[in-house]
A and B are shown apart, each in its own frame.
Chain A
Amino acid sequence: EPEVTQTPSHQVTQMGQEVILRCVPISNHLYFYWYRQILGQKVEFLVSFYNNEISEKSEIFDDQFSVERPDGSNFTLKIRSTKLEDSAMYFCASRQTATGNTIYFGEGSWLTVV
């Protein structure tokens, strides 16, 4: 079964450093997402992306965050200046159409900010 792949699986970074998390969505999917899950908490929506632009973002997704689809296969999340509270599991997800069908998630990238 096709899958969403994410790298790195785990990253430790110093506070204030920039981090880029990478994702390869399922190849025929058009809608891409980032979610995060702080340890012990529920999964929270960050941003959705379609047709090379952000279609929706949450209040968590402030100016420190950005997303990009630099080529035909990758989808990245950048955190410009990491804070301790950015420590979380970040999930990339994709789906074929805008609504009404399955959203597939990757295995996640654990980010630890020290």
Chain B
Amino acid sequence: SQQGEEDPQALSIQEGENATMNCSYKTSINNLQWYRQNSGRGLVHLILIRSNEREKHSGRLRVTLDTSKKSSSLLITASRAADTASYFCATEKETSGSRLTFGEGTQLTVNP
């Protein structure tokens, strides 16, 4: 598998439900960032979590990081139709400087 792989590839839920997306990576990282992309649009930064952090919250978003398993999860609670988008994790390695390596993304569809 490649650095920064998300699963599932696609997720369809009803409004009000929670959505959980996972990301796995292979090498040691400095930090991991989650982005949202609406169709054909730019990348909107959601949360950055550093390698020494285990959990962060921002509004309805909760991100966890398990460096022993080289994985992260993004939880969106009480989802809304407006949350429909692609979600990407991006890792910044310890040794590579400032390059971000993106995963394939999870396409989330929230049905009204």
Q: Which A positions have Cβ atoms within 8 angstroms of B?
A: 31, 33, 35, 42-45, 48, 55-56, 58, 89, 91, 93, 95, 98-108, 110
B33 within 8 A of A: yes
Find out whether the CB atom of B30 lies under 8 angstroms from the CB atom of A91.
no
Identify the closest chain B residue to A10 (Cβ). B40
Find out whether the CB atom of A55 lies under 8 angstroms from the CB atom of B104.
no
Say what secondary structure dominates the interface of chain A.
strand
Q: For B33, list chain A residues within 8 Å (CB).
A: 102-103
Find out whether the CB atom of B43 lies under 8 angstroms from the CB atom of A45.
no
Identify the closest chain A residue to B50 (Cβ). A100
> Nearest chain B CB to A47's CB is how many angstroms away?
9
Q: For A108, list chain B residues within 8 Å (CB).
A: 41-43
B59 within 8 A of A: no
20 contacts between A and B (CB under 8 A): A35-B102, A42-B105, A43-B102, A44-B102, A45-B99, A56-B96, A56-B98, A58-B99, A91-B43, A93-B43, A99-B30, A99-B31, A100-B92, A101-B48, A103-B90, A103-B100, A105-B42, A106-B42, A108-B42, A108-B43
B112 within 8 A of A: no
Interface string of B40-81 (1 = CB under 8 A from A): 111111001010000000000000000000000000000000
> Nearest chain A CB to B22's CB is how many angstroms away?
16
A79 vs B68: C-alpha distance when bound (angstroms): 41
Q: For A45, list chain B residues within 8 Å (CB).
A: 99-101
Q: Which listed residue, B41, B90, B97, B104, touches A99 by the CB 8 Å rule?
A: B97
Find out whether the CB atom of A98 lies under 8 angstroms from the CB atom of B97.
yes
Please name 15 further chain A to chain B contacts, defined as beta carbons within 8 Å, in addition to the given A31-B98, A99-B92, A107-B41, sorted by A numbering.
A42-B103, A43-B102, A44-B102, A48-B97, A48-B98, A55-B98, A89-B40, A98-B97, A98-B98, A102-B33, A105-B45, A108-B41, A108-B42, A108-B43, A110-B40
B87 within 8 A of A: no
